[in-house]
Amino acid sequence: MNRVQIFFLIVFHIPVYIFAEELKPDYYALHKVDSLEAIVYTTPINNESKEKLIKSCFHLLQVYESLPVQKQIESATRLQMVTDKINNNNLTIELLKILANAYYNLNNNEEAIEINYKLFNLYGIQNDEINKANALMNIGHNYYSQNKYFKAKDYYERALTDFKKNQYFTGVAESLQRIALILSHWGEYDDALNYNFEALNFWKEIGDILQIANVNFNIGTIYQELGDLNRAKDCFHKSLNLYQELNSTIELVKTTSHIGDIYLQRKQYDEALEYYTRAEFIGKSANSKKVNAETAFNIGKALNLKGDYYRAIDYQRLALALNEELDDKKALSENYAELGIVYLNYQRYDKALYYFDKGLEISLSINYKFQNNIYYKNLAQVHAILGNYEEAYRNYKLYIEGRDQISTEEAKQKTAELQAKYQLTIKEKENERLRHNEQLHRAQIKNQWLLIGSVATVLIFLMIMAVIFRRRYKMNRKLNVQLSLKNNEIENHRCKVEHLNTDLKEANAAKDRFFSIIAHDLKNPMHSIGFSADLMINYYNNLDDEKKLVHLKGIYKTSNHAYDLLENLLHWARAQSKAISYEPNNINISEVIKDVVDLSFNSADNKNVSILNNVTKSYDVYVDRNMIETVIRNLLSNSIKFSNENGKIEISLFVIKEYAIIEVNDNGIGIPENIIDKLFKIEEQISTPGTMKESGTGLGLLLCKEFVTINRGDIWVESIFGEGSTFKFTIPMNKNAQFVSKEEIQQRLKGLNK
């Protein structure tokens, strides 16, 4: 997503602020400033000199635009004392535009917002509706750069309304694009696509080829985020053809690189290299170190994944040299990480350590949390390979802490966004109600005047009275239709608010469950491992071999439990944030079941539990293999956990219509009837110890429910307390399988058992 956001900033051709480069002032420009300032500051302000003084000020403002940003602020602020005395609105507007632009470029958004409010008022005095809307757009940009997306969206929508009212379609298209960008940040991709398509229609009507290319690119990035790589590639190719027509070198490089990214995601490394190499060739004519560094980095990454380590190292070193010249620390931290990964794959562990250590130092200096975690994880792996287990453990611990911190921050941010959206919806509903009341009040006043006019007209002429009554009747009928439509809109808004409230409650429940697991269920095994390790360290010589083995087995068992919990927690968190990848394919489910059963034999042997796999035939299903493998593994682990010693577990498969029904049956302790309905609900915290006091969180069953639902299936449990349980779930056998309800399946299974 980072590259997408960067590209938005590069190609988003929006004429709001004129982001002028800070040109180095030459002696001629400085001399010109001195000459003009001498005239302005020494000329008395009177009626005779006023016109000449205004021209000199305008000329001086033009020269200020070529100065460095800080110098622009100093010079324009000093000149403002003169322009305030001249009291010319056009002159004041030009000066404030320079100040607003300069403060924006220095990221002083508060000052820029204040100045844009002044511009908004001045444009209002001049009845310049278009520039008033442009001022609103500028304020939106300032809030956007502060990541205050709700405020930014509010100002973009106000600008959009004004642009539409004045039929300024360029402004309409620009506003739609900006709103789409914010919706993309929120993950509201359907709405973002709708806004982008609407903007695209306007740009086609206007005939702006560059903006048509830009919007196609934006749509492509959204499809890329959604995992619809074919549509993304089509959009990028449309943009590419238009950029070639315009000979837009930078845009050509970026778009070509994005097509390469798509092939890289598909693991088609030769095709990815072909597009990255094209981007490299095109980028040479741009004479941009930044562009050349990015293309070299992409080629090196693809070569590494392909296994061509020699060339991968050459390209990464080229990118590294260019980024060092640019002093781009963020890019350098990514370069060093990629070089370390190449050497790790190449089994040159000394080189890998060097680049990981060097890159981590840079990444820490800029507080690049995501990249820090990549370094900790890779350093832990290298040290473990080299036998430096203490360093490996230290780095792995830092990796876990960093990952948890990022996950916690993301969860907090998501909760805050949901709450803010809820408040925004309430505000919009209240505004809609007030607007409705105002319209109703105006309609009532209008009706009163019509009535008065009608009565007066009746006294003058009966025929005119009849005509007026007829018109009044039609108008009332129209108003009733409008009121009915407004009431329907209000009801729709109410339903949306209730839906958002439900989502917010579920998000809060998910957050509470997440923190509960971290605070209690994950803390206990970590404490147990630490206690056993401490005992081994301090009393190692006092323990016989048998006791040492007991403690080591305890550490191994507890760490395995913690790892399983972490894995489920990670899967569940990704599913909750919609970040998990759903990639269904035709797979042999019989092989999956066999693999899971084989991996579970050790756990079952510890309790003398036998596992009988009744699935002997081959069955093809259309699912995401990783998700369904996780479901079967969790259900089998659950059955082992609640089986008594010498217990028995059976796995069976039935086919009904186009769906496969998989059963995991055990003769364990069963489930109380009052708990069955709570097993798959996030708001219910069900945690029952196993027959050998094994701990649990209930997270595995929640994950099963989530993954089965994603794969277009259903899951349920049938249990008799004290006699055992049977977990059943359904999955489609082909891509176009028609859904079969749980009730129909239960009815058919009863028929099979008779």
User: How far is it, in rounded angstroms, from Cα 658 to Cα 646?
Assistant: 36
Q: What is the pLDDT of residue 433?
A: 67
Q: What is the pLDDT of residue 413?
A: 57
Could you report the per-residue pLDDT of 484-520, keeping only the tens digit for each? 777 777 777 777 767 666 656 655 655 555 555 554 4
Residue 206: pLDDT band (50, 70, 90) is: very high
Residue 24: pLDDT band (50, 70, 90) is: very low
- What are 510's two structure tokens? 């998910």
Q: What is the pLDDT of residue 11?
A: 41
Q: How does DSSP classify residue 26?
A: P
Could you report the per-residue pLDDT of 114-148, keeping only the tens digit for each? 999 999 999 999 899 999 999 999 999 999 988 88
Q: For residues 702-706, give the mean pLDDT.
A: 87
**What's the whole-number average pLDDT of the chain?**
81
- Does residue 123 contact residue 132 with C-beta atoms inside 8 Å? yes
Nearby residues of 132 by Cβ (< 8 Å), 6 or more positions away: 120, 123, 124, 162
| Predicted model pTM | 0.51
User: How far is it, in rounded angstroms, from Cα 340 to Cα 356?
Assistant: 5
**pLDDT value at 5 more than 60:** no
Q: What is the pLDDT of residue 61?
A: 77
What pairing do the DSSP bridges indicate for beta strands 648-656 and 610-613?
Answer: parallel
Please state the separation of Cα 26 from the chain's center in Å.
45
Q: How does DSSP classify residue 410?
A: H
For 745-751, the CB contacts below 8 A with 24+ separation are 745/656, 745/659, 745/661, 748/656, 749/654, 749/656, 749/661
User: How far is it, in rounded angstroms, from Cα 730 to Cα 628?
Assistant: 10
Q: What is the pLDDT of residue 69?
A: 78
**Dihedral, CA atoms, 323, 324, 325, 327, nearest 10 degrees?**
80
Q: Which residue has the tokens 């509903």?
A: 429
- Name the residue with higher pLDDT: 629 or 561: 629
Could you report the per-residue pLDDT of 525-562, keeping only the tens digit for each? 664 576 567 667 776 777 777 766 766 766 765 676 56
Q: What is the pLDDT of residue 21?
A: 37
User: How far is it, in rounded angstroms, from Cα 547 to Cα 540?
Assistant: 10
Among the listed residues 193, 191, 282, 281, the one whose alpha carbon sits nearest the alpha carbon of residue 235: 193
Q: For residues 284-300, give the mean pLDDT.
A: 88
- Does residue 229 contact residue 267 with C-beta atoms inside 8 Å? no
Nearby residues of 470 by Cβ (< 8 Å), 6 or more positions away: none
- State in Å, rounded, how far the first CA of the chain is from the last one: 56
Could you report the per-residue pLDDT of 565-620, keeping only the tens digit for each? 566 666 556 555 565 788 899 999 999 999 999 888 888 888 899 999 999 899 99
**Dihedral, CA atoms, 306, 307, 311, 317, nearest 10 degrees?**
90
Judged by average pLDDT, the poorest of 263-267, 415-419, 459-463, 741-745 is 415-419
Could you report the per-residue pLDDT of 710-738, keeping only the tens digit for each? 999 999 999 988 889 999 999 999 988 88
Q: What is the pLDDT of residue 419?
A: 56
Q: What is the pLDDT of residue 443?
A: 62
